[in-house]
A and B are shown apart, each in its own frame.
Chain A
Amino acid sequence: MTAAISRDEFVDLLRDEIGLAVGAEDLGRTFDEVPGWDSLHLLTMLVLLEKQVGRPLSLPDFLDAASLETIYELVNR
């Protein structure tokens, strides 16, 4: 099955649309280690991801996510 969003597209969205200075190698970092990360970035990211994957997402599913990698996996589940 094709992923709803590829890893490269996910990194592009984080860098270009949210303005986070991250690369593919940073996805496994915990949010504490992502420079400038806060709850508003989580919101912005989920709203943009919804547009990209074309289906509604639910915040509670993502609240326990510890890293961008986990978010990527949840979106593609």
Chain B
Amino acid sequence: MGDIPVRLLSVGTALPGPPVDTAALATAFGMNQVWRQWVDTFIGTRTRHLAVDLSTGERRESLADLGERAAAQALARAGVSAEDVDVVVFGTATPDTLMPATVNVVADRLRIDGVPTFQLQSGCSGAVQTFDVAASLLSIGRYRTALVIGGDVIAKHYDVKADLTALPPDELVNYVLFGDGAGAAVLAVGDHPEAPVLRSVLTRLSGLGRAPGQTLRWYGLADRDGGEAPASEDYKAIEEHVPVLAEETADELLDDLGWDRSEVGYLLPPQLSVAMTAKITERLAFPAAEEVSCVADTGNNGNALLFFQLDRLLPAMARPSRAIAVAIESSKWIRSGLALERV
């Protein structure tokens, strides 16, 4: 980043439909008590929101719908109009279409035009990557106000007629871990003394020689009957590597800033599942930090997660205080994090 302080003015979020608890998910897929007990014990996610109607398979909202709602809320909360936005950055693994990019559909609906827009093809580190790109452009004085958005909609991978008892574990796990949603934030330079300052952002590809932990395929006319699973997850590799990468990221942020662990008042840990997040939070061992998590209520909604955590952090963040967020993408392994300070 450059020398000009970048501040987080506001956050907005959007979730599709009512919360779907595990009992409702079990009923929809004809699963029973033992399945519900397993999700409660080993995943821990209480509810998730889905852009697909479980009873009909009909898609209720697109990523552009959710992104638009989240972004409009963030802009309204910041008191920023569409004309004030100088640059838009969107992160997602599940764009509505490969072209046009969802960022441009959302910008159009918000009446944002004539400015640079970028879409990052990203996973759970995507929100931090949008911050990295936007903050880099703001902190060198090129722009004053950025709208960053992240979200995912897994409806196309959510076959409501699937027989979950017949799915291999690496596909089954996707049905219980994930949810849909979008989030957005307004970052700006200038006179906003009440807004937290973005002290540091880091994103590090950490996948040298390492097989992907998560794979999401897309198909065209010629290869759509290829037989490969559209979405699969090496959950054992994820369990093994994510806690290590999270710790490396937190340590690097603290070292760069010269912050002591005990000076951090809020920790926003990776949101894989309630069970995994609890393990990682314990490992990160911030003695005085309040944990800010959302995955129990939202499910793992990928590029949106950090925005939901920030939405909970912002109204609660004391003055003065410091916060650290860590996110890990397990596809080709990207570790990422950011640090905020309210002074």
Q: Which residues of A contact B (CB under 8 A)?
A: 19, 38-44, 46-48, 50-51, 56-60, 63
Contacts and interface: CB of A to CB of B under 8 A. Distances in A.
Contact of A59 (B37, B168, B169, B235): B37
B35 A47 contact: yes
A40 B34 contact: no
B237 to A, nearest CB: 12
A50 B168 CA distance: 17
B169 A40 contact: yes
A75 B34 CA distance: 13
B32 interface: yes
A42 B167 CA distance: 14
B172 interface: yes
Contacts of A39: 38, 41-42
B34 A46 contact: yes
Contact of B41 (A44, A47, A50, A59): A59
B116 to A, nearest CB: 44
B34 A50 contact: yes
Interface in B100-152: none
Nearest to B40: A59
B234 to A, nearest CB: 12
Interface in B231-261: 235-236
Across chains A and B, which 9 residue pairs bring their CB atoms closest together, nearest first? A59-B37, A40-B169, A43-B38, A39-B42, A46-B34, A47-B165, A59-B34, A57-B34, A59-B38
A1 B319 CA distance: 70
A48 B34 contact: no
By CB atoms of chain B within 10 A, which of A19, A57, A59, A60 has the most? A59
The secondary-structure label for the interface of chain B is: helix
Contacts of B34: 43, 46-47, 50, 56-59
Contacts of A50: 32, 34
The secondary-structure label for the interface of chain A is: helix
A53 B42 CA distance: 24
Interface in B24-60: 31-35, 37-38, 41-42
By CB atoms of chain B within 10 A, which of A39, A40, A42 has the most? A40
A43 B236 contact: no
A41 B38 CA distance: 11
Given A38-B169, A51-B165, A43 B235 contact: no
Nearest to B164: A47
B173 A48 contact: no
Contacts of A57: 34
A58 B169 CA distance: 20
Contacts of A46: 34, 38
A48 B172 contact: no
Given A40-B169, A48-B165, A51-B165, A60 B35 contact: no
A58 B35 contact: no
A70 to B, nearest CB: 16
B54 to A, nearest CB: 19
A43 B35 contact: yes
Contact of A44 (B33, B37, B169, B236): B169
A37 to B, nearest CB: 11
Given A39-B38, A58-B34, A59-B33, 19 more contacts: A19-B168, A38-B169, A38-B236, A39-B41, A39-B42, A40-B235, A42-B38, A43-B34, A43-B35, A43-B42, A43-B172, A46-B34, A47-B34, A47-B165, A48-B165, A50-B34, A57-B34, A58-B33, A63-B41
